Structure 1
Amino acid sequence: MSSVVFLQGPLGPFFAKLARRLARQGTETHKINFNGGDRHFGWADHQVDYTGQYRDWPSFIRAYLIEHRINAVFVYGDCRYYHRVAGQVCEELGVAFGVFEEGYLRPDFVTFEWYGVNANSRTDWSLSAIDSFEPRGRQPSLEVGLTFWQRTKYACRYYLFTRFAQGKFPHYQHHRGRSWVAEGLCWLRSFYRKGLYKLTERSILPRLAGELSGRFYLLPLQTRDDFQLRTHSDLLSIEHSIDQVISSFAANADASDYLVIKHHPMDRGFCHYGRLIRTLAVQQNVEKRVIYCHDLHLPTLLDHAKGLVTINSTVGISALLHRVPTKLIGRALYDLPGLTHRGDLDSFWRDADPVDFRLFRRFRQYLYELTQLDGSFFKQVGHAVDAATMRILPVVGSGRRVAAPAAGAASPLHGGL
């Protein structure tokens, strides 16, 4: 019998539903909980609470994988401390390491890759691999739609149960570094601001789609705690990225162009950059050409944008779909010749490289077939569980252990879909 371990998953019941499905297929499932929220949403044949300290985790997970003859470990995100260490131990022991993440293509997909996601992906993203790929004809099967309220409900439950069981997990350190009280208050503030901005910013989108159409660059901000920022860029913070982009825009963009800075919706209640943006814009003498906004319809913005600058957000892939010239200031798997601007940021405003849309279509199908699962962690969960099971069982169902591919090599573990 094969055995698998689930560590921390996305908010909600996705990991529990997947564990039940694998158990019904004959796989022995294990769940390691790090706090009360994990325990509340968790399910497995065997559940264990990890109550040790950071320094003891490497030896604990190594011993657990060996003792229970584990064939695969599953995590949500590969950069959290517990997951990063688990990935290293899995690679040393020859245990498959499956990483789930928000969809590279949103909002109707979930990402699943073996051994790493985003800039840690082991998939071969070279142009030669994309060109030689023979599509299997997979096509998206559903539309998920907005998931804000489901996320919010799961977040509230998760942090409440984390608080209730805090005494049983005295050494747990959350990857966001905020208390459950602060987290809850931020979500309440997010509700308030969502309604507020719907009223106060209602005139911005018609202006961008009208008189400013084709005359603005879009900077979609990422979350303050995004591991994409911390791990896959050389930037110090979101504030640093804002400073860098405004300075470059002011010095190099045409005097008739505008810069639209869009706040990340999941960070709405956690931070606000209005004062910083106003200060930097005044310093650079572009205060009348910089617009800060929140919950504007992204596809409409992309339909009218002149270009897009991002650290490494998957919004960049959406921009390519809309044929919007795109510049990355971090590292991402889609930063390829023919897709994104190859020069530096200063040159982007003056002479942006166009999107090779034929290449993008090949890239998107390659990415979709190898890394995306139809469905969501928050809605249409059953579809994502079905797709994940089909991707996982060919590997863990045999009970075999599979060595990780070398970095940059095509993974042998993409089969099943």
Structure 2
Amino acid sequence: MTESAVLFLQGPLGPFFKRLARTFSRAGYTTHKINFNGGDRLFSWANVQTHYKGKPANWAAFLEQYLTEHSIEAVFLLGDCRYYHRTAKPVCDALGVQFCVFEEGYLRPDTITLESGGVNSLSQMDLSRESLERITPCSAKSSQTIGGTMKRRTRYAAFYYWASSFSRDEFSEYRHHRATNPVKEGFYWLRGFARKLLFKSYDKQTQFRLDNEFDQRFYLVPLQVHDDSQMIFHSPYESVKAFIQEVIVSFWKHADLDKVLCFKHHPMDRGYTEYGQFIEDLATNLGIQDRVLYCHDIPLPDLYHHSCGVVTVNSTVGISALLHHLPTKVMGRAFYDIKGITHQGSLESFWKSPEPVDRHLFKQLHSYLFQKTQINGSFFKYYRLTCNNSLSFYEEFLKPTSTFRPSEQAPVLISGQADPLPSSYSSAA
């Protein structure tokens, strides 16, 4: 029997893909890894390793040849919107190679996501009402509690971006998914950790007001990372600031005068952006500065407990809001934006008459996600648990029934031009 072969592309910061490759290798798979920069290489291990140093426009042709020559049955990667991963998807589809996408957990904090074909707005899930009703409800509780990972993320980020910086000449054609250089990336991560300490006192005061003065009277708006792929590819906004402005102006025009708006900064974006002054200036110009607040690290469950509704672009934070039965308005494209679960009317109508969550239907959705897409574990700790669970999940749900074997009739793919970001999107915060 011929061994199965799997390929790993770019994964989470840190050693998760290295550990996962070892787990697959011990299970009898031949593991392959393609590195695109020095940071990838630093945390890399596989039976066969390759460094791609070619031009982005030639990546598709290179990958097609690699998958064919090595009879790869599945490709694993983190996120489906990075240039090299977006380009890999049609190549895998044409060759019948399973395209396995990891992502942060839909049902955090104790899970990660693994789907075939795409995640988030590109998910291949059948979420029709008929499909959801066929699911057997479950408790959807993970056996292992994960806990915090920020310190590890920060440390891994520093190592990754320094390694990338020192190898820039070697990987001169590399196209990073963030519009900055590796040295700045490391600085931003360290600055984010410092800001976490700086904003702690301010958040404490804000939380006291939300819990007492504005209990059940404030709408929560969780912000997304400024260059989040869901913002760039699956929303109508040019920037996070454009979203903030639309929400504040709409709130000013249509919300009841006793209601309050609270924006929450994304913890992973702390080192890159800060919207406090922008929000304050806009609210002041509209005369509602006393009704608009901004926080950083107040725990989401605490905010949900005292909130009356949530507005999001398309973050999976919306799922946790729905779990707390909060009316939720999605402003972009999200797989969970389903009639009966989220508000289907306009933002203006949401301020006045938010549609309630159909608790039964949401329970079916929650059970569906837990059973078909979630793995108990973390990209940054409990590696043995997470890797073993990921291997089991792959073999139970995603592994092809027959191993890919290239033939002379396999479709020939033509490498296209480098795929730029949408021209309408501004990387400016």
TM-score, length of structure 1 as denominator length = 0.94
Q: In the alignment, what sits opposite 1:355?
A: 357
Letter in 2 for 1:78: D
Pairing 1:227-376 to 2, within 5 Å after superposition:
227-376=229-378
Deviation at 1:286, TM superposition (A): 1.3
What number of residue pairs does the alignment pair up? 402
Matched, 1:145 2:151: no
Contact kept? 1:2, 1:397, Cα under 8 Å: no
Q: Give me the whole-angstrom Cα distance separating, in 2, the residues matched to 1:55 and 1:139.
A: 44
Q: Give me the whole-angstrom Cα distance separating, in 2, the residues matched to 1:94 and 1:125.
A: 24
Q: In the alignment, what sits opposite 2:164?
A: 162
Could you list the per-position Cα deviations for residues 128-175 of structure 1 after superposition, in whole angstroms to 9, with x for gaps in the alignment? Answer: 100012357774111111111111111111111111222210111110
Pairing 1:22-37 to 2, within 5 Å after superposition:
22-37=24-39
What secondary structure is seen at the aligned counterpart in 2 of 1:246?
Answer: helix
Contact kept? 1:2, 1:396, Cα under 8 Å: no
Deviation at 1:257, TM superposition (A): 0.6
State the Cα RMSD in Å: 1.5
Contact kept? 1:243, 1:280, Cα under 8 Å: yes
Matched, 1:84 2:65: no
Q: Give me the whole-angstrom Cα distance separating, in 1, the residues matched to 2:263 and 2:59.
A: 40
Q: In the alignment, what sits opposite 1:196?
A: 198
Q: In the alignment, what sits opposite 2:106?
A: 104
Could you list the per-position Cα deviations for residues 291-321 of structure 1 after superposition, in whole angstroms to 9, with x for gaps in the alignment? Answer: 0111111100000001100001111111111
Q: Give me the whole-angstrom Cα distance separating, in 1, the residues matched to 2:236 and 2:216.
A: 30
Letter in 1 for 2:377: G
After superposing the two structures, state which structure 1 stretch, 279-288 or 334-343, moved more. Answer: 279-288
Contact kept? 1:341, 1:353, Cα under 8 Å: yes
Contact kept? 1:135, 1:369, Cα under 8 Å: no
Q: Give me the whole-angstrom Cα distance separating, in 1, the residues matched to 2:334 and 2:253.
A: 26
What stretches of structure 1 of length at least 5 have no aligned partner? 403-417
Q: In the alignment, what sits opposite 1:400?
A: 403
Deviation at 1:269, TM superposition (A): 1.0
Q: In the alignment, what sits opposite 1:51?
A: 53
Deviation at 1:180, TM superposition (A): 1.7
Change (3 A) 1:397 1:251: closer
Q: Give me the whole-angstrom Cα distance separating, in 1, the residues matched to 2:137 and 2:305.
A: 28
Q: Give me the whole-angstrom Cα distance separating, in 2, the residues matched to 1:135 and 1:338.
A: 18
Deviation at 1:16, TM superposition (A): 1.0
Q: In the alignment, what sits opposite 2:123?
A: 121
After superposing the two structures, state which structure 1 stretch, 176-185 or 370-379, moved more. Answer: 176-185
Deviation at 1:188, TM superposition (A): 2.1
Deviation at 1:282, TM superposition (A): 2.1
Contact kept? 1:11, 1:151, Cα under 8 Å: yes
TM-score, length of structure 2 as denominator length = 0.91
Contact kept? 1:3, 1:72, Cα under 8 Å: yes
What stretches of structure 2 of length at least 5 have no aligned partner? 406-429
Contact kept? 1:23, 1:45, Cα under 8 Å: yes
Change (3 A) 1:138 1:254: closer
Contact kept? 1:2, 1:70, Cα under 8 Å: yes
Letter in 2 for 1:205: Q
Q: Give me the whole-angstrom Cα distance separating, in 2, the residues matched to 1:83 and 1:49.
A: 15
